[in-house]
């Protein structure tokens, strides 16, 4: 049994056990190591990727569920201008310390901006509430996303 998915813009054939977790396939088979494992239970957001444009915890998704879907990780987003804008905002607001949560935060931010180009503070809080950060606290991260939205009206 095999399925197809577009992963970071490339058509990818996935064969074998489709009851494996998406996070394991991305990290171990494709070496997309921006996808971090934290809790493994859908609670921390470290493993967040985009599934058809929406932020999802890849530790809670099985390969069988991504047939004919589009998956984007930080490695794929890094090829876009949007990534530079998010990265610059995080860096100028001091929103990164150890960096473990950062890929997940970035993907949740992009997931939010995909559905809402002008989120307010509450929208941002809500979008990031599933992403845990043990270092900076959330203020700087939320401020970074707010700054990004205020400065840039064209993040898609």
42 binds ligand FES (CB under 6 A): yes
Indicate the residue among 15 and 31 with the shorter CB distance to ligand FES: 31
Single out the residue of 86, 101, 127, 146 in contact with ligand FES (rule: CB under 6 A): 101
Single out the residue of 50, 57, 106, 128 in contact with ligand FES (rule: CB under 6 A): 57
H or E element in which residue 111 lies? helix 102-115
C-alpha pair distances (Å), 81 with each of 27, 31, 63, 77, 152 = 24, 23, 29, 8, 12
Nearest distance from residue 129's CB to ligand FES, in Å?
A: 12
Considering only residues 1 to 40 of the shown chain, the ones binding ligand FES according to CB under 6 A are 37-40
In b/e form, how buried is each residue of 117-140, taking b as 16+ CB within 10 angstroms?
eebeeebbeebbebbbbeebebeb
Binding residues (CB under 6 A) for ligand FES: these are 37-40, 42-47, 57, 59, 96-102, 133-136
């Amino acid at each position: 049994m095999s399925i197809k998915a577009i992963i970071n813009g490339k058509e990818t054939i996935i064969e074998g056990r489709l009851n494996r977790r998406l996070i394991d396939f991305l990290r171990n088979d494709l070496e997309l190591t921006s996808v971090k494992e934290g809790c493994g239970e859908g609670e921390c957001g470290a493993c967040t990727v985009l599934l058809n444009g929406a932020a999802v915890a890849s530790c809670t998704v099985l390969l069988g569920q991504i047939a004919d879907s589009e998956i984007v990780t930080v490695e794929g987003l890094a090829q876009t201008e949007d990534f530079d804008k998010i990265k610059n905002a995080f860096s100028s607001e001091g929103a990164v310390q150890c960096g473990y949560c950062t890929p997940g935060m970035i993907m949740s931010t992009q997931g939010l901006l995909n559905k809402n180009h002008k989120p307010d503070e509450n929208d941002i809080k809500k979008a990031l509430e599933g992403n845990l950060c043990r270092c900076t606290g959330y203020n700087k991260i939320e401020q970074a996303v707010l700054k990004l939205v205020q400065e840039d009206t064209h993040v898609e």
